[in-house]
Structure formats: C-alpha cells, structure tokens
Structure 1
Amino acid sequence: MTPIQGGSDRSPRRIKALLFDLDGTIAETDSVHFPAWAEILREHGHEVDWAFYRENISGRLNPEIVAEYIPGMSEEETVALVERKESHFRARVGGLEPTSGLVDLIRFASSRDIRSALVTNAPRANAVAVIEALGLGELFSPIVSADDVSAGKPSPEPYLEALARLGVLPEEALVFEDSRSGIASALAAGVPTVGVASTQEPEFLLAAGAFTTVADFTDPHLADLLRPEP
C-alpha cells in the first residue's frame, strides 16, 4: 500500500460497505475494450493504437467518445453504434480473470457483515457479463450501472445511488477505483477512496484524491481498513 500522500487523509472509520468500480478495478478489461473500439473507430477513419486508447478513450463515457471522434451522428445512430461496440465486448469477456485478491477480500468483508457493491459507468449487460465470466455470481449487491443513473462518473450520482440502496452513510463506505473520473465521482459523493494502480501510477491516483493506493487486493493492509477502530 502506498503511504498516504497527496490525497485526502480522511480514511474511513467503521466500514459497512465496499463499493467497487468494474473496468480496471475488479478485472483488467482494457484488453477487450481496446480492440472493440479500434474496430469501430477504424470504420470512421481513425487508427487507434494502445497509447491513444489509454490516453483518450479508456474510462470515458461512450456517448462522449462518439461525439468527439464521430461527430454528427444522431442519437439513434449513436445508440446503435455503442450497442454494437458493447456486443463486441461482451462476446470476448470469457478470458477475463478477477484482480488478484478480490474474492478473498470480499469474503473477508462478508465475514464481518460488510456488503460489497459494484458501481460502474458500463451498461448493466456488460456488468453482468463480466461478473459471470469472472465466476463471481452474487457477490455484488447492488449493481449500479449506467442504466440506473442520469449522469455517470465523474458525477457523484452513481455512488450516491449505491449508498442510498445500501442504506449507509458516505463515511461508512470505502470505494476502490482506478481512474481520475471514478475517484472524482466517489469523492464528490463523500466516500473515502482507495486507488487501484492497475491502469495508472500510484502518484496519479493520489493526486486525483485517493487517500492511499494498492497494486491489487492482496495488499495485507486492506484488512486493517476493514477492522473497526477502537
């Protein structure tokens, strides 16, 4: 675990819920999203390599990507194109693996009556497809997806919706995020956030507002965060 520096020093006290982002947090999914977007954008005159994808596409909302790189599409055309891209993604999630330590952390939390929820900008169909591919079954409840809110991350709405469904206060939850927009969303909802350094460097996540970072969920200090302080 990276020492607290640069981010908020407000770590949680008594945890009742863990809120997990999906893409890049519970699994490395960019390797599936990248070819899906590359194929779509190539049809519209854009050659997308890995560096361009990571810098300009990863973590963004689909309508934003379409509006920037395929301007002039109608709402109906945008919806159809995004669904084609997401269908491409869902057809290829079979080889995904959970981030190291994820299942053990959720089981450890559950043994202490701490619930685990999934909060994602992805469509619900994607979230369900990934969870099933990972073999995680019913470990996440609730699942808050793009279909459940009017504004995605970095708006606080997804995390506020999750808190409301769980019936917990922001200070009673802990978020795990791997992106600037996700951290911004969680902090705007008032929830302390751990940066998962899967797609970004720890320093980037701390600067974005995470109070600490981990490489994955095997970090032994995570258990300390879930134990009530005396």
Structure 2
Amino acid sequence: MLFDLDGTLVDTSYLHTVSWWQAFRQYERDVEMAKIHRAIGMGADRILDHLLGPDHDRYDDDNIRAAHRSLYAQYWWRVRPTPGAHELLQAVDERGLRVVIASSASRNELEIMMTALDAQDVVDTATSLDDAGASKPAPDTIQVALARSGLSPDEVVFVGDSVWDVSAARALAIPCIGLTCGGISAAELHEAGAVRVYEHPRALLEAGEGAFSR
C-alpha cells in the first residue's frame, strides 16, 4: 500500500494553509484561504502557478516559498498523526503488505512527519519531492516510490486525502482510496475518481481487510 503523508497520515493540511496564506500576505498577494486549502497536496513547485496563475509576476516566488517554509517550521513540534494512522500502518505490515510513502513534501518535512508518525519500523520505502521531478498531480513521486520499492502499478493501492493524490494515482492506473481527514469532502474525492472514501485512517482500518484491496 502506498500512502500520502500531509493530511492523510499526519494532520497538517490546515497548518500548510495558514502558512501559505501568511507567506502570500507578506508579499502583498491576497489569496483566499479556501482556495489555498484546496491546493494543498501540490508541492511548492506547482502551488504558486495554480493559485496566482501561470502568467503571474514570478519576482517574489522564491521568497514566498521560503516564507512558507519558515512559517510552517514553527508548527513542526505540533505535528500529530491523523486518527488511527500509526495503527493502520502497523496493521498493513502485519497483513504482509509493504508500506510505502509517496509524498510531495520536502525531505526535511518528510522527516518531521515520519518522526511524528513514529512508524519507521514498518515503513519499507519513503520518497519526497526532493526525489522526484514534479509534485502531484504529476505521478512522479509515486513512480519513484514504485521504482525504489520494486513494485508495479498493478500491485498497489494508494491512500491519499486530496484530489491531487487521486489524479496522480489515476495517471498510473492505480486505485486510490480517499480520506476526508485532510478537509476535502467525500463527494469531491469520489468525483476525482477515488474508489472508496473513509473519514480517517482508523475508519479505513475498521472497514476490514477488504477495504485494502484493489
């Protein structure tokens, strides 16, 4: 099973939303929080074009990204797993399935989230945006995770919380299970193509072994 991290296994979606909003305001860009929230799941390489438009003035782009990193780092010590995340990964491992992380976060952020998750002993492979060419909805991070774990798309199921996760998995014909704990509704996840949707990792675990299947 492949997993996203931000919003899926760790409760960070709104921390990123506030951090991006503050970063935009520092450079006099007025972007609604609701729009920022729906863009979370993309990496920093894509989110500015998505929110400001592909033809926006890029003069401050690097500064805005740096401001987001600095602002978000203030929350690192508060990062917590989503409900049942640790238990779900343990259960997947106990069923003889491999646990693979495919995240669009930076390497530093991935390490912080992995520490909060406290599941290093059951995670087989973990990849970040630093390992891939482009973030979700491009499938690059998933492709790298598959290559490093020696798995093929027809052997895996992906679990994510955003429409960008669903799109990235669909690009490789991988079924995606959606979780609403990142703040995106079940209707939006189903519309994007999620095969099943649950509230959080605990709900997926409680649904039983059949919920893990393709």
TM-score of Structure 1 vs Structure 2, range by shorter chain? 0.7 to 0.9
Distance 1:175 1:127 in 2: 17
Letter in 2 for 1:108: A
1:169 aligned residue: 152
Structure 1 position 42, deviation (Å): 0.8
1:3 aligned residue: none
Structure 2 counterpart of 1:59, from 41, 44, 55:
41
Q: In the superposition, relative to structure 1, how do residues 43 and 87 fare at CA in structure 2: closer, same or farther (>3 Å)?
A: closer
Distance 1:187 1:52 in 2: 23
Letter in 1 for 2:96: D
Structure 2 counterpart of 1:150, from 133, 140, 145:
133
Letter in 1 for 2:87: D
C-alpha deviations, 1:37-90, integer Å up to 9, x for none? 1221112223445324324x423332333345393335xx63454233213212
Partner of 1:33, secondary structure, is helix
Q: In the superposition, relative to structure 1, how do residues 114 and 138 fare at CA in structure 2: closer, same or farther (>3 Å)?
A: same
1:204 aligned residue: 188
Asked if 1:19 corresponds to 2:41, the answer is no
Asked if 1:217 corresponds to 2:201, the answer is yes
1:127 aligned residue: 110
Partner of 1:142, secondary structure, is strand
Letter in 1 for 2:200: D
Letter in 1 for 2:190: L
Structure 1 position 226, deviation (Å): 4.1
Q: Indicate the RMSD between aligned Cα atoms, in angstroms.
A: 2.4
Larger Cα-atom Rg? 1
TM-score of the superposed pair, with normalisation by structure 2 = 0.85
Structure 1 counterpart of 2:57, from 72, 75, 87:
72
Q: In the superposition, relative to structure 1, how do residues 50 and 222 fare at CA in structure 2: closer, same or farther (>3 Å)?
A: farther
TM-score of the superposed pair, with normalisation by structure 1 = 0.80
Alignment of structure 1 residues 34-49 onto 2, 5 Å:
34-49=17-32
1:12 aligned residue: none
Distance 1:222 1:207 in 2: 24
Distance 1:46 1:151 in 2: 24
Distance 1:90 1:138 in 2: 25
Structure 2: 5+ residue stretches without partners: none
Structure 1: 5+ residue stretches without partners: 1-17
Partner of 1:176, secondary structure, is strand
| Percentage of pairs with the same residue | 24
> Greater relative contact order: 1 or 2 (C-alpha under 8 angstroms, separation 6 or more)?
1
Asked if 1:160 corresponds to 2:143, the answer is yes
Distance 2:213 2:23 in 1: 46
Letter in 2 for 1:72: D
Letter in 2 for 1:211: V
Distance 2:91 2:45 in 1: 37
C-alpha deviations, 1:158-216, integer Å up to 9, x for none? 21221121112222211111111110101111211101112211121111111111111
